[in-house]
Amino acid sequence: MERQEVIRLENVTKRFGDKLVLENIDLSVYEGDIIGYIGPNGAGKSTTVKMMLGLVDGYEGKIFIFGENLKYQDHTYKRRIGYVPENAELYDSLTAQEYLAFIAGLYGLDEGLAREKAYRLMMKFEIDHVMNARLSSFSKGMRQKVLIISSLLHNPDVLFLDEPLSGLDANSMLIVREILAQLSAQGKTIFYSSHIMDIVEKISNRIVLISGGHIAADGTFDELKEQNQKGSLQDIFNSLTGFNQHKEIAEEFVAIVQEESA
């Protein structure tokens, strides 16, 4: 069965001022892909995602989403996208129920249906009892659950997730991982950014490593293992980003901590 191409980046270059953030990125993403999108801090991961969502513009090259050039699309393509940003800001003074109703409204969902769906999803995450409490009183894990629900209410075809498991307890993590696997089996595409390599290794069926504005590696975990002769994604990551002094740095760090303070 031919898998449909969902996203294509052609020769995409992005600068902030004089700083080159992404250079000639070429990337094709297909339905059913769970892409583990990894790279060091500041490598341009979130910039890529933000460009696809229209949060950042002024890039060179072409971005195609659902086969259409982003430059000539209006906002409607976003109805098929779900997004969990890193450190997402929520409107804290709203209750979970109000917030989810609002987001559902932005996606053009019917209010009654959305409310019911949100409630049932919250029940599954065991946060239905705080439905009418302010988000400001939520713990980090609870907020994360609300965010995940808000990104899925409209049953999107593409999901951009940035550290979606942060703050979740071990059991909830298991649930979310399973949800992602099942969504992908249904043909949804998932962009999964994270710094926690073991999870990326287990969750994704394809890994894209971005470093210094370039794609440094692209393939399944097994392919990367073979190419790099390393056992874990952590080791591959270190070797591809040219990092091997963690021990020395840690030693120096601890030494500084233990210095007598005046």
Partner 1 sequence: MNDFATLRLLDRFAPLFRRAGIDYPMLRLILGIKLTMDTRRVPTVFAQSKVKDGKNYFIRSLWVYALYGLTIIPFLFFDDYFFQMSVIFGILMFILMTSMVSDFSSVLLDVRDRNMMVPKPVDQRTISTAKMLHITLYMSLLTIATAGIPLFVSLYVNGFGFFLLFLAELILLNFLILMMTALVYFAILQFFDGEKLKNVINFMQIALTLGIIIGYQLVARSFQLTELDWTFQPAWWQLFTPPVWFGALHEALLSGERSLFVIVLAALAVTTPVISMILYIKLIPSFESSLHKLSTVEQGKEKRVNRLKQAFLRFIAPDQEERNFMNFSFAMMKNEREFKLKVYPQVGFTFVIPFLFMFTTTEDGAFEALREGSSYYLFYFTLLVIPTVISMVKYSGTYKGSWIYAAMPLRDRVLIDRGLTKSVLVMFYLPIMLILAPVFIWIFSGRIWLDLIVIMATAILYAAICTFALNGKSLPFSQPFSVAQHQEGIKAFIMMLVIGGFCLIHVLFKNWAYGLEIYAVILLIAIIIVWTLGFRRIRFET
Report the nearest approach of partner 1 to the CB of residue 55 (Å). 5
The answer to the question of residue 105 lying near partner 1 (CB under 8 A) is yes
The answer to the question of residue 65 lying near partner 1 (CB under 8 A) is no
Which of 66, 151, 166, 72 lies closest to 104 in space, CA to CA?
151
- The structure tokens 């995409």 sit at 12
Candidates 101-109, 183-191, 197-205, 225-233; binding stretch for partner 1 (CB under 8 A): 101-109
Sequence-ordered list of residues with C-beta below 8 angstroms from that of 99, at least 6 positions apart, any chain? 90, 91, 135, 146, 150
The answer to the question of residue 39 lying near partner 1 (CB under 8 A) is no
Report the nearest approach of partner 1 to the CB of residue 138 (Å). 11
Q: DSSP string covering 182-239, please?
A: HHHHTT-EEEEE-S-HHHHHHH-SEEEEEETTEEEEEE-HHHHHHHHT-SSHHHHHHH
Residue nearer to partner 1 on the CB measure, 92 or 223? 92
Among the listed residues 2, 18, 74, 260, the single contact to partner 1 using CB under 8 A: 74
Among the listed residues 11, 20, 26, 55, the single contact to partner 1 using CB under 8 A: 55
End-to-end Cα, the chain, rounded Å: 69
Among the listed residues 6, 25, 47, 78, the single contact to partner 1 using CB under 8 A: 78
**Cα 50 from Cα 63, distance rounded (Å):** 12
Residues that bind partner 1 (CB under 8 A): 16-17, 53-57, 74-79, 81, 83, 85, 89, 91-94, 98, 102-103, 105-108, 134, 136-137
